[in-house]
Structure 1
Amino acid sequence: MNIHNAKVNIIRAAGVDGRFGTERSGENGRNEKLSKRSAELSATMAAPRPKPLKLGTSIQASFGDPEDPDYIFEIAVNGQKSNMAVSLSTNAIKLYSPETGAYVGDCLGHTSTISGISFPDPNSPMLLLSSSADGTIRTWDIRNRKEVAAIRHPTPGSEIWNFSVGGITNQVAAGGDSQVLIWDWRTRNLMSELDELHTEAVTQVHYHPAKRELLFTASVDGLINIIDTSQSLKPEDLQYDTLSVGTSIGKIGFYGRYSQMLWCLTHIETLSVWDLEEKMQAAEFKETRTNASFKWGLDNVNYLIDCFSPSGTDDLWLAAGNNDGAMGFFPTSFPKPVHPSVPSLGVFGEVGCVLEGGHQGVVRTVWLSQNLDTEQSLFAWTGGEDGRLCSWSRSGAVEHGRSWVSNNLVMKKGSSSKTRHSPY
């Protein structure tokens, strides 16, 4: 991987022989890999800081009080890369072309904070799902921007904070206020309501991309539970394992050639890595923001955004930013733990690439393009609390980004009162 071009791909791993990983090398192989990774990291840290990527387009996706603008929560792109959905703090979802940034229309219906959006089925690229604190998971046909189905929390007034589609029987799982709920996606019937897994709000639910029967749930209570949904979903018969993070969990995800590793970002801005085969913590990154700040030439890193993995590798990159709207991608590294109860100390390499000059505040979400095989290719879209959508290209990288705001791509609505709060 060329660090300075930051050719980063999101991967969708496939399992082999029903296990997380099948290429288990011996101790010599591990040592060789560690030595190679250490050499690569040393070379990275010795290299000069790369120039920021070029800002291609900046769209003012939402309008509000200039002192307290509406802002962007999340970006999702369908498998064909023909449509991009963007959730806003106005409880609306806007649709754009990821190639041109052209505005397509709105999906309107949610009455409270939108907590998640996804194009879950690659065979149905025109179906968008969204969850909300209004207690619903809605399915939209983006061709006409109409709601075509909805799942509702069985308890009126209850909130839904995350959802995932998976399982071996087309399940939809959702996290609520200390509850995990599972529906049959085809019939919309509630299959299970689990009240004993967590004691506080469930912030993340994810089906494993390779072992699709495994459902991972994470919570403000600091626990990650791993549920085998191929077995009985009755609370008294439930089979699950637990990983204890120890602090409120904001976001989790999978990485590695076989998605055999799990990364975890917390609400106190820390990063940890877990080995799913061994069911143990593999690494912790202490003083995450401070140590990442040493690896770029800008102001201090203030917050963590997301994690990404280059396709076909076991490498992990952290996306983090500062309050002025700049963000960077930091490579991570850690040795194999010497003891199961003692995680390794993780370190960051020199920032791989910098996105600077597009946003004027906190960056909330990043979508990375997989089509990065040419210098002209789109690198990423980002969205933030300034209400802006920014596209980034690797072509003609310059030291200072330039942006323009197009008011004719969206219809400006009248101002309305709102309560600004995080969906997580």
Structure 2
Amino acid sequence: MHTLKEAASSSLSLAEGNYIYSIVPSSRTEFAAISSDDSLHTFDANRLSHASLVATHDGVTSLRTYDAGKQLVATGGRDGKMKLWDLRNGKNSAVVAVETANRAPVLSIANCFETNTLVAGTELLSHQAIVAFWDVRSPNQPLLQYVESHNDDVTELQYHPTRRNILLSGSTDGLVNIYDTAITDEDEALVQVINHGSVHHAGFLNEKTIYALSHDEVFSIHAATDPDDQAQEPEPVQFGDLRQPLKCEYIAQLCIGSQGSYIAAGNKIDKRLDLIPLFPTPSWRFDEQNSWRLPGGHGEEVVRSVYIDEQTQSVFSCGEDGFVRAWKPEAGVSEPDTLMTTPRPKEKRSKDKARFKPY
């Protein structure tokens, strides 16, 4: 177990009683955040000094970085709109705005800078939960809509890390769907369906692996289907409810970086947040011995979003206490134990030589 020390904190000038939903990098030195007062904030990563804010939606729900240069961010809201914001030079203006059919509330968003695409996942409205696509260059009408693949709120959207035509969606109907968006026919576009349980978070761990986390903290890992590969897929790794084995009360999210993945496990009673490494060998497992603890966390309030900055060896978190907090390793930590370069655990030799090792 390693420890991170709180280096800075800020309320971003929020009025008392508000809290922060999500944070994402908006440039090399700044972050963007959305809060319960329906505002979009930017702040300096080094000092957490509040730079600016602008009203976003009537009920903001979602925030994503849009482009590789991290100069644009996208938001979604319960007003049925999705907006693209230009944060360069203090502009903080919405350069694109799209609207869902019947103004269905937007609960999740995704975007692909390379294909100029915005995607919104909606709340179930009039017996439909929609995954809608727009080209930012022609935002008046959706390019494409999937209207039959989910029958409840669409809570998660994520593009494949390298294949820009592959999109993942997750829903409270219990399904994680994988689409080939190059195919317009919805039935044919749906290339994989995972039945997991009411989806809180889901996404790609890597190019060939999918994870799913339910609202009751059940976690699983699945192989992504390859239509060109006729080999039998390995069985999913079912972790079950993570609260007891990880000694936590809730899971905030899974943090995926170039050097590895961590699950952010919160405990309000003990006032802490733990970042627990998830390793793929010999089979997917958590390495609690090499966890990073954020003592104090966000007090007795829930942590809503976590970002690991590999370049600065820092962790940024926000939560229902209305604060953004920055964390760093204790002074004098040796290089092998720095964040995101934690030594991988030694593999145990299995007596069962025929045991299948997935992925």
Q: What whole-Å deviation, never above 9, does each CA across 1:189-232 have from its counterpart, x for those lacking one? A: 3112221100000111111121110111111011111111112x
Could you tell me the TM-score, scaled by structure 2's length?
A: 0.81
- Check whether the contact 1:319–1:330 (CA below 8 A) recurs between aligned residues: yes
Q: Superposed, which structure 2 residues align to 1:228-377 within 5 Å?
A: 228-231=180-183, 233-235=184-186, 238-256=188-206, 259-277=207-225, 281-293=235-247, 301-312=248-259, 315-324=260-269, 325-333=271-279, 346-360=285-299, 361-371=301-311, 377=312
What corresponds to 1:166 in structure 2?
A: 112
Q: What whole-Å deviation, never above 9, does each CA across 1:232-290 have from its counterpart, x for those lacking one? A: x244x64212333331001112223xx22112111011211111146665311123110
What corresponds to 1:115 in structure 2?
A: 61
Task: Please give the alpha-carbon distance, in whole angstroms, between the structure 2 residues aligned to 1:393 and 1:333.
Answer: 22
Aligned residues: 317
Could you tell me the TM-score, scaled by structure 1's length?
A: 0.69
Give the Å deviation of 1:329.
1.3
Task: Please give the alpha-carbon distance, in whole angstroms, between the structure 2 residues aligned to 1:320 and 1:227.
Answer: 30
Task: Please give the alpha-carbon distance, in whole angstroms, between the structure 1 residues aligned to 2:33 and 2:71.
Answer: 15
Give the Å deviation of 1:63.
4.0
What corresponds to 1:208 in structure 2?
A: 160
Task: Please give the alpha-carbon distance, in whole angstroms, between the structure 2 residues aligned to 1:267 and 1:281.
Answer: 22
- Secondary structure (helix, strand or coil) at the match of 1:117 reads strand
What corresponds to 2:320 in structure 1?
A: 385
Q: Identity of counterpart residues, as a percentage?
A: 24
1:135 paired with 2:74, answer: no
- Check whether the contact 1:167–1:207 (CA below 8 A) recurs between aligned residues: no
Give the Å deviation of 1:395.
3.8
- Check whether the contact 1:273–1:281 (CA below 8 A) recurs between aligned residues: no
User: Structure 1's 310 and 191: CA in aligned 2 closer, same or farther, altered over 3 A?
Assistant: closer
Corresponding letter in the other structure for 1:133? R
Structure 2, unaligned stretches of length 5 or more?
Answer: 124-128, 227-232, 334-359
What corresponds to 1:296 in structure 2?
A: none
Give the Å deviation of 1:93.
1.2
Structure 1, unaligned stretches of length 5 or more?
Answer: 1-48, 294-300, 337-343, 372-376, 399-424
- Check whether the contact 2:176–2:196 (CA below 8 A) recurs between aligned residues: no
What corresponds to 1:83 in structure 2?
A: 30
Give the Å deviation of 1:120.
1.4
What corresponds to 1:396 in structure 2?
A: 331
Q: What whole-Å deviation, never above 9, does each CA across 1:73-105 have from its counterpart, x for those lacking one? A: 100003x42321011011111110112211110
- Secondary structure (helix, strand or coil) at the match of 2:243 reads helix
Task: Please give the alpha-carbon distance, in whole angstroms, between the structure 2 residues aligned to 1:194 and 1:210.
Answer: 22
Give the Å deviation of 1:149.
1.9
User: Structure 1's 250 and 281: CA in aligned 2 closer, same or farther, altered over 3 A?
Assistant: farther
Task: Please give the alpha-carbon distance, in whole angstroms, between the structure 1 residues aligned to 2:55 and 2:153.
Answer: 26
- Check whether the contact 2:191–2:225 (CA below 8 A) recurs between aligned residues: no
Task: Please give the alpha-carbon distance, in whole angstroms, between the structure 1 residues aligned to 2:152 and 2:25.
Answer: 30
Give the Å deviation of 1:292.
0.6
- Check whether the contact 2:96–2:136 (CA below 8 A) recurs between aligned residues: no
What corresponds to 1:194 in structure 2?
A: 146
- Check whether the contact 2:81–2:98 (CA below 8 A) recurs between aligned residues: yes
Give the Å deviation of 1:370.
1.8
Task: Please give the alpha-carbon distance, in whole angstroms, between the structure 2 residues aligned to 1:395 and 1:323.
Answer: 23
- Secondary structure (helix, strand or coil) at the match of 1:292 reads coil
What corresponds to 2:10 in structure 1?
A: 59
- Check whether the contact 2:9–2:324 (CA below 8 A) recurs between aligned residues: yes
Greater RCO (CA < 8 Å, at least 6 residues apart): 1
- Secondary structure (helix, strand or coil) at the match of 1:252 reads strand
